[in-house]
Structure 1
Amino acid sequence: MSTNEKANHGGEEIDVLVVGAGFSGLYQLHKLRKAGFSVKVFEAGKGIGGVWHWNCYPGARVDSDYFLYQYSLEELWKDWTWTERFPDRQELVAYFDYVDKKLDLSRDISFDTRVTSATFDTTADRWVVSTQNGRTIRSRFLSLCTGLAAKTLFPDYPGLNSFKGVVHHTSLWPQGGVDLTGKRVGVLGTGSSGLQVIQESDPIVAHLTVFQRIPNLALPMGQRKVTEQEQNELKKELYPIIFRRRVQTFAGFHYTLVDRSLLDLTPEERRLMLEDLWGRGGFYYWLAAHQDIFSSEEANKIVYDFWRDKVRKRLTDPVMQAKLAPEVPPHPFGTKQPSLDRCYYEVLNQPNVTLVDLQETPIVEITPSGVKTKDGVEHALDVLVLATGFDALTGSISQIDIRGTDGTPIGEKWGKGVATYLGLSSAGYPNMFFPYGPQAPTGFCNGPSCLEVQSDWIVECLTYMREHKHTRIDATPAAEAAWGARIQELAAPGLWDRAKSWYVGANVPGKPVAQINFTGGLPMYAKLCRESAEGGYVGFTLSHL
């Protein structure tokens, strides 16, 4: 046991404890160390990368362009070369390994160290943090870099534990993989991870059964290889511009929503514009479109109808066309995050693939040999893949027993409705921050773009407090209430409540249904955070012992 480990068991005191070694946690570790703070990272997994450590299921791949989905630090991007427009999990693991070695991060990271509780000591203005393996640490500040999807949702079907085959949730896939060759595989759920597993499994399985709850309004990925020469040309002049541009756009990409109404275009203009966005691949069709598709039913129906017609041309069976691209949209387009498809609809054309529409024939139970549906059919399986999602945004944090100044667990507080200020802190939980969490642009933003804005703000805040000898910062209840009202005010004109999505918490039984993302875009969000800081952290109470 090292000296540091012995100290940790005895309750070592540090400036900042960061929970999670994903994009946010690693960035903060680097920035905080440079700013002169003592900082440690506790990571539940055996390696760095956050979601990219855990998401090792077949086909796992990012949905942001490679040049956007990385740190903006020149010391990192200048010597790193990607191979695909949308890198897969293996390439992202390699990227994080490169980042680790380049910045010498692992020396301050404790792996296999899951945080189970944190209590704020009001007499010392410190957090007392405990872990599953018995470690305790006292930190002035606590930064929860737990990401948007760290609490797994399991279906509550009767008999799930009776299944005799192999069953795994995509987020808890074995690191060594699962051999699907020649197996009868069932995939429950057709969100992003479900689509990726389905596309990857089809060539090797004996039979694939897809259990669809709601059609995925997937968009063409436009995947391609990228050359070193292409990237070197971008690095010469455009990389710094791209990184500056991404914080100027609604969703942290290099393109953004158009202010003009879609309805102002002639039918010919609309058609050509939609064809152009569709052909570009990625999220262009969603996040470079006219912004009124999120508020106008008429505009939204136009983009849905175009999507429906494009998809139906790729499906050979009229029944499949009706189930996968129905005449009436299952929800307004874009109010649930679309996935990026490489060959999803072609896979569903294959004779060894069965689509089970759970709206027509719901699952009644999981049997030892498969899945039984309401029509009496038992779908025999060797492997059952649970692509059933997460308790997003709040669940990553509330699954930890975090108690603030009055001893209330944050899960209990948020159980009545999420409450934050700036989507970064919560009143009554001083000196605690949570980038890429609830009531921030999280659900509508390229991850690195959002987390760098938030993490830079956190580092600057802690530096300000050190310079002014403050030991405590706490959001005021009034600022928190005003922020919550702003979140709902921004979302009110939108069509978000028409979809049962994690954007509003509707995918989790018993979770209060309300918009839990900041829908005003990254530039507005960054401006509001900056205004608070420039005003001496307006909306917070700063104090010292």
Structure 2
Amino acid sequence: MSGSAKATGALVDVLVIGAGVTGIQQLYRAREEGFSVKVLEAGTGVGGTWYWNRYPEARFDSESYTYGFLFSKELWEEWEWSELFAGQPEIERYFNFVVDKFDLRRDIEFGVTVTSASFDEPTGTWTVRTGGGAEHRARYVVAATGVLSVPYYPAVEGRENFRGEQYHTGRWPKTPVDFTGKRVALIGTGSSGVQIVPAIADDVASLTVLQRTPDWCTPLNNGPISPQEQAELKAEFETIRETLNTSPSGFLHELPSRFSTEDSKEQRLAFFEKMWNSPGFSKLTTNYIDFTTNPEVNKEFCEFVADKIRGLVTDPATAEKLIPKNHLYAGRRPPFVTGYYEAYNKPTVQHVSLEQTPIVRVTETGIELTDGLREFDIIIWATGYDFGTGALNRLGVRGRDGLALEASWADGPSTYLGIVTAGFPNFFFPGGPHGALGNNPRYASDQVDCVIDVLEHAREYDYDVIEVDPAAEKDWTDTVNGSGSLFLESSYFFGSNIPGKAVKQLLNPTGRPNLQRLIAEQAEQKYSAFILSKVEEAAA
């Protein structure tokens, strides 16, 4: 089959779930290689995370041009990012520009929620059903549902009783929220919460920031991309693409060149100042070579950042509550900020430590803490996501013998290369658990290409069913879970923010070079880690 498949119920080669950055690239690649393809998207537009996350000041903390697609030089030359770290409206415009430029929209069905996906062994196909009662049949299913797709609300008593407005950063309405003169509670200060605080501080009557665990926030250092820089980006596309396609982190950042022990204390402080003024994740990727392995240099950097916080926040007591005490830099996902600490100097902004005064319940008029009731007009839940496996476990995926994916992963995900899992033939999930440890779209791009290569290989040899060898899956999963992690197990990268969820590795601590090496080896070995068969053989 080739071309565009339109009819509900018609068998397509590839059915993609999700029209975010990974789903769009999977659609583009599948169509380019002659597969019929259809995409089901729950939202009414493309962009995935950048469709749903439209809260005030939502923006990249990966450099804009490193996040987008690299499969077309013409696209690179036609689109110009206005800022080093673009905001949500511009990001959403970019994804719409891409799908329209390559005429991808005709293969995307919007406003569709997948309720189940079942593998039929006699035919080697999948049946995917949606909330509207439609049924889709596909040879292969690619769940490009992303790792930040399912908003998490903590189990706080009385949340449904609040009579004011409530919003989650991961499900922000398209209609702008009016904060003018409102009493606002913001719960959570991860990457989303710290962006909102300075964005609304001047509009509200009051903003109460309820924080459980402070993180090491450092400046984003955003700015416009000058005409000269735009010209350089266009002229250097091939070099930039090669760098991004091979970079361990998926960024353009220069690799670290010195150990901390090579510098004196004064030289290290000067270097830390340079890091403080560097853009985004470069504070992690271009720091000292031993920054993540030598606790002493990391601690020294944290002391440097703590002094910065004390210098930015006027009230000493508030400053101390904003300084982490239980982890070093990057022990949790580091947020990047613009004007965040300074916002606490405004008379409208108050910080509340939930460690000192926990939430008791939400009432009709506000939030009751252990020190009393505070009344609000708006509550913002910046409380994160069911990371990694959340969306996949809610798709109703059923593999061989009716095996439920959520049951198979009850003790944590088991994957091969973060792409496939045993017991679920012809089912792929690039951009999901065990995939990335850096700039997510770059890792997901590697995985998308691998999925297409496997499908092409099966087509060349007339195979219908593709599944991973359980031994290969076990080896990869054991390696992932056994590798040392930069992040603490209390981080959401281990799923520990979700009550009852297995605390297991959800990232790929083995790194991108190892992932790329194994993908290349599989191509050379004609996919020896996969079991490929014809329908009759697979059913037998």
Short-chain TM bin: over 0.9
Compared with structure 1, are the counterparts of its residues 487 and 260 closer, same or farther at alpha carbon in structure 2 (3 Å cutoff)? farther
Please state how far the C-alpha of 1:512 moved relative to its aligned partner: 1.2
What aligned pairs does 1:156-171 form with structure 2 within 5 A after superposition?
156-171=155-170
Contact 1:278 1:284 in 2 (8 A): no
Please state how far the C-alpha of 1:113 moved relative to its aligned partner: 1.0
Please state how far the C-alpha of 1:270 moved relative to its aligned partner: 2.1
Matched, 1:406 2:401: yes
Residue 250 of structure 1 aligns with an amino acid whose one-letter code is P
Gap runs ≥5 in structure 1: none
Contact 1:169 1:385 in 2 (8 A): yes
Please state how far the C-alpha of 1:49 moved relative to its aligned partner: 0.9
Matched, 1:539 2:529: yes
Contact 1:151 1:399 in 2 (8 A): no
Please state how far the C-alpha of 1:257 moved relative to its aligned partner: 5.1
Contact 1:332 1:495 in 2 (8 A): no
Counterpart selection for 2:367 from 361, 366, 371: 371
Matched, 1:482 2:439: no
Compared with structure 1, are the counterparts of its residues 45 and 385 closer, same or farther at alpha carbon in structure 2 (3 Å cutoff)? same
Equivalent-residue separation in structure 1 for 2:296 and 2:339 (angstroms): 30
Contact 2:435 2:444 in 1 (8 A): no
Aligned to 1:470: 463
Please state how far the C-alpha of 1:404 moved relative to its aligned partner: 0.6
Counterpart selection for 2:444 from 451, 454, 457: 451
Aligned to 2:253: 255
Matched, 1:321 2:319: yes
Contact 1:250 1:257 in 2 (8 A): no
Equivalent-residue separation in structure 2 for 1:538 and 1:199 (angstroms): 52
Aligned to 1:394: 389
Please state how far the C-alpha of 1:351 moved relative to its aligned partner: 1.3
Match of 2:280, SS state, is coil
Describe the superposition over 1:314-346 as per-residue Cα deviations: whole angstroms up to 9, x where unpaired. Answer: 1111101210025xx321210211111000001
Aligned to 1:361: 357
More displaced stretch, 525-534 vs 265-274: 265-274
Contact 1:247 1:522 in 2 (8 A): no
Counterpart selection for 1:294 from 279, 292, 295: 292
Aligned to 2:117: 118
Count of aligned positions: 531
Describe the superposition over 1:347-373 as per-residue Cα deviations: whole angstroms up to 9, x where unpaired. Answer: 011111111100011000111111111
More displaced stretch, 255-264 vs 124-133: 255-264
Match of 1:293, SS state, is coil
Residue 226 of structure 1 aligns with an amino acid whose one-letter code is I
Contact 1:181 1:205 in 2 (8 A): yes
More displaced stretch, 283-292 vs 17-26: 283-292
Aligned to 1:202: 201
Match of 1:67, SS state, is helix
Equivalent-residue separation in structure 1 for 2:29 and 2:254 (angstroms): 28
Counterpart selection for 2:41 from 43, 55, 64: 43
Match of 2:305, SS state, is helix
What aligned pairs does 1:495-514 form with structure 2 within 5 A after superposition?
496-497=487-488, 500-514=490-504
**What is the TM-score of this pair, normalised by structure 2?**
0.95
Matched, 1:191 2:182: no
Equivalent-residue separation in structure 2 for 1:363 and 1:210 (angstroms): 12
Equivalent-residue separation in structure 2 for 1:313 and 1:378 (angstroms): 32
Residue 357 of structure 1 aligns with an amino acid whose one-letter code is S
Describe the superposition over 1:375-430 as per-residue Cα deviations: whole angstroms up to 9, x where unpaired. Answer: 2x212110000011100110111111001112121111111221101110000111
Match of 1:486, SS state, is helix
Equivalent-residue separation in structure 2 for 1:272 and 1:295 (angstroms): 21
Equivalent-residue separation in structure 1 for 2:482 and 2:260 (angstroms): 23
Contact 2:5 2:12 in 1 (8 A): no
Aligned to 1:281: 279
Aligned to 2:538: none
Compared with structure 1, are the counterparts of its residues 495 and 435 closer, same or farther at alpha carbon in structure 2 (3 Å cutoff)? closer
Match of 1:32, SS state, is helix
Match of 2:115, SS state, is strand
**What is the TM-score of this pair, normalised by structure 1?**
0.94
Compared with structure 1, are the counterparts of its residues 462 and 222 closer, same or farther at alpha carbon in structure 2 (3 Å cutoff)? same
Please state how far the C-alpha of 1:454 moved relative to its aligned partner: 1.0
Equivalent-residue separation in structure 2 for 1:79 and 1:512 (angstroms): 45
Equivalent-residue separation in structure 2 for 1:515 and 1:156 (angstroms): 24
Aligned to 1:348: 344
Aligned to 2:212: 213
Match of 1:503, SS state, is helix
Identity of aligned residues (%): 39
More displaced stretch, 457-466 vs 240-249: 240-249
Equivalent-residue separation in structure 1 for 2:518 and 2:98 (angstroms): 31
Residue 379 of structure 1 aligns with an amino acid whose one-letter code is R
Aligned to 2:268: 270
Residue 439 of structure 1 aligns with an amino acid whose one-letter code is H
Residue 434 of structure 2 aligns with an amino acid whose one-letter code is Q
Please state how far the C-alpha of 1:214 moved relative to its aligned partner: 0.6
Residue 289 of structure 1 aligns with an amino acid whose one-letter code is N
Please state how far the C-alpha of 1:291 moved relative to its aligned partner: 4.8
Contact 1:403 1:429 in 2 (8 A): yes
Equivalent-residue separation in structure 2 for 1:122 and 1:262 (angstroms): 57
Please state how far the C-alpha of 1:168 moved relative to its aligned partner: 1.2
Describe the superposition over 1:452-473 as per-residue Cα deviations: whole angstroms up to 9, x where unpaired. Answer: 1111111111111100111111
Residue 518 of structure 1 aligns with an amino acid whose one-letter code is N
Please state how far the C-alpha of 1:162 moved relative to its aligned partner: 0.9
Residue 136 of structure 2 aligns with an amino acid whose one-letter code is I
Contact 1:81 1:228 in 2 (8 A): no
Equivalent-residue separation in structure 1 for 2:315 and 2:421 (angstroms): 51
Please state how far the C-alpha of 1:260 moved relative to its aligned partner: 5.5
Compared with structure 1, are the counterparts of its residues 17 and 431 closer, same or farther at alpha carbon in structure 2 (3 Å cutoff)? same
CA RMSD of aligned residues (A): 1.6
Equivalent-residue separation in structure 1 for 2:497 and 2:259 (angstroms): 31
Aligned to 1:7: 7
Contact 1:247 1:523 in 2 (8 A): no
Match of 2:483, SS state, is helix
Counterpart selection for 2:509 from 519, 524, 528: 519
Gap runs ≥5 in structure 2: 536-540
Equivalent-residue separation in structure 2 for 1:489 and 1:264 (angstroms): 31
Compared with structure 1, are the counterparts of its residues 159 and 257 closer, same or farther at alpha carbon in structure 2 (3 Å cutoff)? farther
Aligned to 1:133: 132
Please state how far the C-alpha of 1:293 moved relative to its aligned partner: 3.2
Describe the superposition over 1:226-261 as per-residue Cα deviations: whole angstroms up to 9, x where unpaired. Answer: 13442122211x222122112322210012553764
Equivalent-residue separation in structure 2 for 1:292 and 1:505 (angstroms): 27
Matched, 1:22 2:15: no
Equivalent-residue separation in structure 2 for 1:387 and 1:126 (angstroms): 39
Residue 168 of structure 1 aligns with an amino acid whose one-letter code is Y
Describe the superposition over 1:204-238 as per-residue Cα deviations: whole angstroms up to 9, x where unpaired. Answer: 111000000111211101111113442122211x2
Compared with structure 1, are the counterparts of its residues 7 and 349 closer, same or farther at alpha carbon in structure 2 (3 Å cutoff)? same
Residue 286 of structure 1 aligns with an amino acid whose one-letter code is L
Contact 1:250 1:520 in 2 (8 A): no
Residue 496 of structure 1 aligns with an amino acid whose one-letter code is F
Describe the superposition over 1:118-162 as per-residue Cα deviations: whole angstroms up to 9, x where unpaired. Answer: 011111111111111111111111101101111111111111111
